[in-house]
Amino acid sequence: MATLALPRPAPPADTALRPIISFHGVGMTYPNGTVALRDVNLAIHQKDFCFLVGASGAGKSTVVRLLIREELPTHGRIFVNGMELSRLPHRRLPRLRRGIGIVFQDFKLLPKATVAQNVAFALQVTHPGQRHLRERVEEALWIVGLEDKLQKFPDELSGGEQQRVAIARALVHRPRIFLADEPTGNLDPDTSWGIVQLLLQINHRGATVVMATHNREVVDLVRRRVIAIESGRVVRDEREGQYLKDGEATI
């Protein structure tokens, strides 16, 4: 793995302020009876960078889905950007989601649109008639290092580059919160490292970053906050943690 210089860590989060994301006794049971989360309590502050780790099915993706209110918790309360999600009327969902940038393992790009069109799409559908559309798109693509690939189509790009496009699309709203659900799941180690560096840079620019991941090497190398979930419970929450607890056996 390339040893690239890490960006300077963001200044410590101001814990005296109200957290930007908080879970209070959150439980989540899916309609088929699967219990995804049990009594989860969490506080994530502005400019935090944290990893959500745990085995498949532990509940990481449920946390992400709850944060963008794709699902509602069965118990407890969730606050994001000052909004209580259970009480948020459906018509206010766009406001919540415009404050959150999100990327997934499968990139979710439009295959028949160019890189620039993919990024512009996020602004066009939320702020039609945006005056500085072109500048905003170019700025986002410059941040992810794809300023020379504006006219390429997704299938002309590598996996890492496609994920960068997705990140640029998520950035174009200048969100305060950035969620990444297994963003390196489909990428080789070097490319993964590049993506994580990008997320650290985004965090350094002031965004709160939450990254759900399986990527042990990355978590251990970066040494940021680690929230470990097992069978729907938060079993560990460490300020500068590792993928596994000290002394925990690896498979």
Partner 1 sequence: MRLAATLRFATISAGQNFWRNLAISLAAVFTMGLILLMVGGTLLGTHMLNEALTVEQDKASSIKVFLQNGVSEAAVEHLASRLAADPRVRTVHFETKEEAAQEAQDRGFGDAIEAVGHNPYPASLNLDIKQLADLPAINDMVKQQTIVEHGGNGVQATNYDPNVIPKLQRLILFLQLSGAVLALVLGAISLVIIMTTIRTAVSVRRREIEIMKLVGATDWFVRLPFIIEGMLAGVLAAGAASGLIALVYHPVVNVAKGWVGFFPFSYDGAYLGLTVAVLVAAGAALGAFGSYLGVRRFLTV
**Footprint of partner 1 (CB under 8 A):** 68, 70, 90-91, 93-98, 102, 108, 110, 112, 121-122, 124-126, 128-129, 169-170, 173
Q: Could you tell me where the beta strands, DSSP code E, fall in 45-99?
A: 49-53, 75-80, 83-84
| Least distance (Å) between residue 121 CB and partner 1 | 7
137-162 burial by CB neighbour count: b if 16+ within 10 A, else e? bbbbbebbebbebbeebbeebeebbb
| Least distance (Å) between residue 98 CB and partner 1 | 4
233-238 and 100-104 strand pairing: unpaired
| Least distance (Å) between residue 69 CB and partner 1 | 10
**Closer of 107 and 193 to partner 1 (Cβ):** 107
Phi/psi for 28 (5° steps) reads -140, 120
**Closer of 20 and 219 to partner 1 (Cβ):** 20
- CA-angle at 182, arms to 31 and 42, nearest 5°: 65
**Closer of 35 and 96 to partner 1 (Cβ):** 96
| Least distance (Å) between residue 90 CB and partner 1 | 8
Question: How crowded is the C-beta side of 112, counted as CA atoms within 13 Å?
Answer: 0
Supply 250's token pair: 């690896």
**Closer of 64 and 219 to partner 1 (Cβ):** 64
**Closer of 93 and 150 to partner 1 (Cβ):** 93
| Least distance (Å) between residue 194 CB and partner 1 | 23
Supply 93's token pair: 């969902």
